[in-house]
Amino acid sequence: MNVVALEGFEKSRLKLLLDHLGEIEDVRDPWRVAYRLREVLFLVVCGTICDCEDYDLISEWGEQHLDFLRRFLPYDHGVPGGRWLTILMNRIDPALFSAAFTDWVRESWPDKPDFIAIDGKTSRRSHDRGAGKAALHLVSAYATTRRLVLAQEAVDAKSNETTAIPVILERLGANGGLAGAIVSIDAIATNPTIATAIAGQGADYLLAVKANQPTLRAEMQRYFEDAPDGALNTDIDVDKGHGRIEQRFVTVSSETDWLTGGRRFPGELRLPGARTLIRVQSRTELKDRCRFDTRYFISSASLDAKTAAQAVRGHWLIENALHWTLDVVFRDDQSRLRKGHGAHNMAIVRHFAINLVRAVADKKSIKLRRKRAGWNTEYLQTILGALTR
């Protein structure tokens, strides 16, 4: 298969991938370009899928599989070496790369997500102490029921996640992309500004209430302790595995008038449109002890206990299904890219790779899929070229 042959596959993720990689601006003088930017990015995505940990390994993989790469793009001058890859990946504008990623996801998986979790992750070894550069902290949006990365935004070293979250919301909300969804975020975003931004995109919020909102948390605790049984609805869930048994009691109430009453003191936190209060009590039986925990959430959606439990568990899934996979399977925390935009751009590449690898309809683990893709180019082509419909 070659570039011309791909034109017949209007709905292939591979064709969409090549199209969107080709939209990223190449700032080099055209007469000096031997390795086209789209070729380089496609090489890096393929190498990352195939379990290559750094640019030297990606370059070596490309040299050994040049015939495969030439099925899709010319590669007239072969593939660049690892050092050259490092230089170019450091120069690519991560904002353009991230926008291309989001556009590709939206076209490849056009159905609107129903539950979206937003959370941040630090790439621990991406700091550069000599240059006074902090480690990369990336906020990602994750469709929890579809296990799909939707977007990402880096947090400025002098700021926090609350500055990156509105940017992600605006990007995902374009053309009604968030309409009807429930967006869950941890306690750092439990404020009127973020809640209003979510509502402004036609979505509902699910926000955690923790120690950073001590007054609200204490009031919610008292409310659930004193509320009559008729005002509460509870769902019980049991998980068994990994040497433990966990019971979760998810209790909800739609009595939220007291949150916005006129007797609230000036400056007190007021979340617009709050409709559901949620308490999650968990009891975990370990081998040598029992552990108890209680968490509180507020949502602008009208939720019963079962739906609330699904939404809350979905938010926790971003840690297990995305961040854990990036750290353990893709070894994100071990990456030592520290110059230019290298760490940020490679984080986006890993998101390209994890979405493609996870989309394969077989029962193999992500780790085994990546290994097999490196061994078998036909399997790699299956990962790259699955149809969207």
Please give the structure tokens belonging to residue 43: 């090489």
Tell me what pLDDT residue 170 has: 94
What tokens does 102 get? Answer: 């989001």
φ/ψ of residue 299, rounded to 5:
-135, 150
In the predicted structure, residue 362 carries a pLDDT above the cut 70: yes
pLDDT-derived band of residue 388, with 50, 70 and 90 as boundaries?
A: very low
Distance CA 328, CA 159 (A): 28
- Going by C-beta distance under 8 Å and a sequence separation of 6 or more, which residues neighbour residue 131? 338
pLDDT tens, residue by residue, 45-77: 999 999 998 899 999 999 999 999 999 999 999
98: pLDDT confidence band, cut at 50, 70 and 90? very high
Helix ranges (DSSP H) in the chain: 3-6, 13-22, 37-49, 55-64, 66-69, 82-91, 94-108, 161-173, 192-200, 214-226, 257-260, 305-317, 324-328, 342-358, 366-375, 377-385
| Contact call for residues 234 and 206 (beta carbons, < 8 A) | no
CA atoms within 13 A on the CB side of 86: 13
Domain residue extents for the chain? 13-91+340-384, 98-257+271-329
Residues of the chain with pLDDT > 70, as a percent, come to 86
Question: By C-alpha distance, which of 174, 121, 47 is closest to 323?
Answer: 121
* CATH of the domain spanning 98-257+271-329, picked from 3.90.245.10, 3.50.50.60, 3.90.198.10, 3.90.350.10: 3.90.350.10
pLDDT at 272: 86
Q: Which two tokens stand for residue 126?
A: 């991406």
- The model's pLDDT over 273-290, given as tens digits with 9 standing for 90+, comes to 899 999 999 888 777 778
Those residues whose C-beta lies under 8 Å from the C-beta of residue 297, and which sit 6 or more positions away, are: 206, 207, 208, 209, 277, 278, 280, 308, 312
| Tens of pLDDT, residues 184-213 | 998 888 888 999 999 999 999 999 998 888
